[in-house]
Structure 1
Amino acid sequence: MNLETVMQELEALGKERLKKMYMSNGAHEPLFGVATGEMKPIAKKIKNDQALADQLYATGNYDAMYFAGVIADPKAMTETDFERWIDAAYFYMITDYVVAVTLSETDIAQEVADKWIASGDELRMSAGWSCYCWLLGSRKDAEFDKDKLSGMLDLARTTIHDAPERAKYAMNMFIYTVAVSYVPLHDKAVETAQAVGSVEVDKDKKKSKFISASTNIQKALDKGQIGFKRKYVRC
């Protein structure tokens, strides 16, 4: 399949209701409004095709950019490629669920994510923290440096309330993910979540809201989910 045929198939799957929903979350034209599950039959035909993924991503069409992440070959991507992708990622659903997810399947994931977290740029920070969530939720505990993750919990604890908007969401999720998916620091993550408390987000909207890692950690505890690891990161 080539770029033109994939774009035609994606357009045929578009739904106005989903398009409006995606736009309410920050997506903008061009986009079709394709349910992610409906992309799977096309993905099965293509499997991994990095050249096609890059072409799709470059269209700027939200659905095409998302599908690019589904068929990408992460091992074929360099840091330069990820920088190009993050530069074009204009809202969190692309940074956190396309770029960060794809990055998490590489050997350079932590190295690149660390740079993004330290960048001070809202969407890069969001992608960096999110990448660690995908990593922790899928890789064995032994693959991580406990001291490094402990330091990241400390960083989240001291900076989350003043962090950029989307970074707050990702940092909150990081604290939760460490508590649930990285057993060696479960207790510290629980303590960190309690110390952080509720985090106010969406201050620029008519009504702000509060998110809490503690609340979600307790739900995971109640369901016996501590130690959870997912088999696949990408859909």
Structure 2
Amino acid sequence: MTEVTVTAVMAELAGLEDAAMRAVNEKHGDDHGVNLGKLRAVAKRLKTDHELARQLWQTDDTAARLLSLLICRPKAFGRDELDTMLREARAAKVHDWLVNYVVKKSPYAEELRVAWFADPDPVVASAGWALTIDRVTKKPEGLDLAGLLDVIEAEMKDAPDRLQWAMNHCLAQIGIDHPGLRGRALDIGERLGVLKDYPTSPGCTSPYAPTWITEMVRRQTTPA
């Protein structure tokens, strides 16, 4: 792909920019004003184009990076390239999509999970926790679930926001998916009180772990 193509895509994204939406997104750490449904429509039209995806990522523009993650080939990125991309991912949505849409599909997912989990940068560490959550649910064999609860119990209360959110999600997921540890997960959540007062929209489940665990278990056990 040529630079002209990148320029054309950037112009299209600029045309989709909405000032009011940007103002809302900026409150959540995302500096873009493009409707995600419209962004996905652009990605659907462009189809998979890994070279264009690389070029869009290099623009350092949040909307362009989100688009790049939708049109890339996840398995085409090298291990060090993904590590660099994560550390470059300023916006929360870019960070989230990179982990969930790309890294989870990479052959380096487990290697990066272990490395990021222990990283001193709390934002990078939160990616390690996000990948750990995936294993808690899908492939818990080999994970020290009780040890994860130990870390959560000791560190979640004072963790920076994004890392705290990931730890809290892991706590809830352990409680939901592993009945033998559910009582301890509930107890940790109740004692720490993390996100207990988080504003939750009507019809949505609170991220407060005891409420989250209880509601998801109820749904699993209630006949359809």
* Aligned position for 2:202: none
Q: Aligned pair in 2 of structure 1 residues 105, 5: CA closer, same or farther (>3 Å)?
A: same
- Tell me the TM-score normalised to structure 1 length: 0.77
* Aligned position for 2:50: 50
Aligned residues: 209
- Alpha-carbon displacement from aligned partner over 1:14-54 (angstroms, at most 9, x marks no partner): 211211111111234xx3x1111112222122222222112
* Aligned position for 1:38: 38
User: Does 2:194 align with 1:199?
Assistant: yes
Q: Distance in 2 between matches of 1:64 and 1:193?
A: 40
Which amino acid counterpart does residue 187 of structure 2 have in structure 1?
Q
Which amino acid counterpart does residue 6 of structure 1 have in structure 2?
V
* Aligned position for 2:199: none
* Aligned position for 1:64: 64
SS in 2 for 1:170: helix
Q: Aligned pair in 2 of structure 1 residues 46, 148: CA closer, same or farther (>3 Å)?
A: farther
**% identity of equivalent residues:** 25
Is there any run of 5+ residues in structure 2 with no aligned partner, and where? 197-205
* Aligned position for 2:89: 89
Q: Distance in 1 between matches of 2:9 and 2:182?
A: 43
The equivalent position to 1:3 in structure 2, one of 3, 6, 17, is: 6
Show the 5 A alignment for 1:1-235: 2-28=5-31, 31=32, 33-134=33-134, 141=138, 143-180=139-176, 183=177, 185-197=178-190, 198-199=193-194, 212-224=208-220
- Alpha-carbon displacement from aligned partner over 1:88-132 (angstroms, at most 9, x marks no partner): 112432222334441111122122022112112121012221233
Q: Aligned pair in 2 of structure 1 residues 12, 217: CA closer, same or farther (>3 Å)?
A: same
Is there any run of 5+ residues in structure 1 with no aligned partner, and where? 202-209, 227-235
Q: Distance in 1 between matches of 2:72 and 2:36?
A: 15
Q: Highest CA radius of gyration, 1 or 2? A: 2
Root-mean-square deviation (Å): 2.7
- Name which structure has the greater RCO, CA cutoff 8 Å, separation 6+: 1
Q: Distance in 2 between matches of 1:14 and 1:27?
A: 13
Q: Distance in 1 between matches of 2:133 and 2:210?
A: 16
- Tell me the TM-score normalised to structure 2 length: 0.80
Q: Distance in 2 between matches of 1:65 and 1:35?
A: 14
Query: 160-169 or 44-53: which moved more?
Result: 44-53
Which amino acid counterpart does residue 20 of structure 1 have in structure 2?
A
Q: Distance in 1 between matches of 2:39 and 2:89?
A: 20
